[in-house]
């Protein structure tokens, strides 16, 4: 489909159809957000921007199940957590903060991206 005038629309239609077939429901107002609720209970959310996506789930097992289903049908690149439990996506460093084993919040920053950009143009931190 690459290079066709309608390729992005065709791709998204195919991918959305697949996600709905495994239990996701597309948000009515925000088309790029889908909710995974196989038994009527929200277990995960899936958001996308162009050709990147993010999955948030109630637990790691649910997220792994969704990723496994996606990877069994589509060629995918999955970002793994680094030693600090962070994921770098689109230049945004995402860190999950837990308290007593429960996700408390996500911390987002672009410090590494900004540093690399500064290095490219000759601006360095002091």
55 and 72 together in one domain: yes
Torsion angle of alpha carbons 60, 63, 69, 71, nearest 10°? -90
pLDDT digits (tens, 9 = 90+) for 55-83: 888 888 888 888 888 888 876 656 666 65
Cβ neighbors of 93 (< 8 A, separation 6 or more) are 86, 87, 108, 109, 110, 111, 112, 113
Same domain, 37 and 98: no
Domain count of the chain? 2
pTM for the model stands at 0.57
Q: Could you tell me what percent of the chain has a pLDDT over 70? A: 79
Structure tokens belonging to residue 64? 């792994």
74 and 116 housed in the same domain: no
Q: Are residues 60 and 2 in the same domain?
A: yes
Enclosing domain of residue 61: 1-78
Same domain? For 70 and 23 the reply is yes
CATH of the domain at 25: 3.30.310
Same domain as 59, residue 8: yes
Question: What are 89-114's pLDDT values in tens digits?
Answer: 556 777 777 788 777 777 777 777 78
The CB density around residue 19, as the number of other CB atoms within 10 Å, is 20
Polymer length in residues for the chain: 126
Which one is predicted more confidently, 33 or 89? 33
For residues 64 and 117, membership in a common domain is answered with no
Q: What percent of the chain has pLDDT over 90?
A: 2
Q: Are residues 8 and 28 in the same domain?
A: yes
Residue 44 and residue 8 share a domain: yes
Claim to verify: residue 66 and residue 115 sit in the same structural domain: no
Same domain, 30 and 65: yes
Neighbours of 5 (CB within 10 A): 7
pLDDT of residue 21: 92
């Amino acid at each position: 489909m690459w290079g066709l005038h309608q390729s992005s629309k065709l791709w998204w239609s195919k991918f959305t159809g697949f996600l709905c077939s495994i239990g996701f429901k597309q948000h009515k107002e925000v088309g790029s957000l889908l909710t995974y609720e196989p038994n009527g209970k929200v277990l995960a959310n899936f958001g996308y921007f162009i050709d990147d996506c993010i999955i948030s789930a109630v637990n790691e097992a649910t997220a792994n199940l969704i990723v496994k289903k996606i990877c069994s049908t589509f060629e995918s690149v999955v970002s793994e957590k680094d030693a600090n439990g962070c994921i770098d996506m689109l230049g945004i460093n995402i860190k999950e903060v837990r308290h007593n084993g429960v996700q408390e919040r996500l911390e987002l920053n672009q410090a590494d991206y900004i540093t690399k950009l500064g290095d490219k143009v000759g601006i360095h931190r002091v």
